C-alpha cells in the first residue's frame, strides 16, 4: 500500500492466483460487472508473458468519507515463478488463492499452494503474516468438495475463506468487499 498525497489516494494491489481452471478471470469479470463504470477501468489484458500465460488487471477507485479515494489494482496471474509473477508477488498487498472446488482438481490445488508458499518465502515474505484469502470457487459444480474438506486440505494458515460460484455473482462481490475492508483495516485507513 502506498499513499499518493497529490491525488489524496491510498493505493492497494491485490493478486488473484490459482490453477488454470480455478476461475480467476471469471471472478474479476464478476466483480467488474457489479461495479459502476464510473469507479472502475475495463479489464486490461497485458498479453501473453512467459509460458504463454496472460495477465489481466482491473482498477477500482472508491471514494472515501474524507474526500480522498482508495484505489485497488487487482491482477490475475497463474505463473508465479516467472519474472512477471515475481514482480506481482513482491508488490502485492494481499493474495486471493482462487481454488477450483471440484474434487478432480484437489491435487493440482495442493501443488499450487505449495508453489505459492515457496515463492513467497523466496521473496522473504512470511505467508503466516501476510494477507492471504481463499476463494473456494465453482461451488455450483456437482463434483465440488465441501468447504470443510477444502479448508482442511488447503488452508493450513487458517486464512479467511469465501465460497463463490459463477451463478451467484453477489457472493463474489461480498468477498471482494470483505477483502478490501480487511486491507484498509490492516493499514489503518478509515473504512
* Average pLDDT for runs of 10 along the chain of length 191: 84 95 93 94 78 78 80 92 89 96 97 96 95 96 94 96 90 94 80 55
User: What are the structural domain ranges in the chain?
Assistant: 2-186
| Rounded Cα gap, residues 179 and 143, in angstroms | 27
C-alpha cell at 103: 474434487
Residue-level pLDDT at 52: 47
Write down the pLDDT at residue 190: 59
pLDDT at residue 81, as a whole number? 85
Sign (positive or negative) of CA dihedral 5, 7, 10, 11: negative
pTM for the model stands at 0.92
pLDDT value of residue 79: 87
Beta strands in 27-156 (DSSP E): 44-48, 54-63, 69-76, 94-100, 132-137
CATH superfamily ID and name for 2-186: P-loop containing nucleotide triphosphate hydrolases (3.40.50.300)
Amino acid at each position: 500500500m502506498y499513499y499518493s498525497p497529490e491525488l489524496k489516494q491510498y493505493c492497494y494491489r491485490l493478486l488473484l492466483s490459482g490453477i488454470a481452471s480455478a476461475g480467476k478471470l471469471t471472478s474479476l469479470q464478476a466483480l467488474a460487472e457489479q461495479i459502476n463504470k464510473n469507479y472502475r477501468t475495463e479489464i486490461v489484458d497485458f498479453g501473453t508473458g512467459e509460458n504463454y500465460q496472460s495477465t489481466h488487471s482491473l482498477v477500482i477507485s472508491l471514494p472515501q468519507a474524507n474526500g480522498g479515494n482508495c484505489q485497488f489494482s487487482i491482477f490475475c496471474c497463474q505463473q508465479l515463478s516467472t519474472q512477471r509473477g515475481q514482480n506481482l508477488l513482491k508488490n502485492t498487498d494481499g493474495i486471493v488463492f482462487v481454488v477450483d472446488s471440484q474434487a478432480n482438481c484437489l491435487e493440482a490445488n495442493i501443488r499450487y499452494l505449495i508453489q505459492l508458499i515457496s515463492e513467497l518465502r523466496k521473496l522473504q515474505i512470511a505467508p503466516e503474516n501476510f494477507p492471504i484469502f481463499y476463494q473456494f470457487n465453482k461451488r455450483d459444480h456437482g463434483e465440488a468438495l465441501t468447504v470443510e474438506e477444502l479448508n482442511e486440505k488447503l488452508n493450513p494458515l487458517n486464512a479467511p475463506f469465501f465460497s463463490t460460484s459463477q451463478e451467484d455473482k453477489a457472493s463474489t462481490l461480498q468477498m471482494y468487499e470483505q477483502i478490501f475492508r480487511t486491507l484498509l483495516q490492516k493499514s489503518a485507513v478509515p473504512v
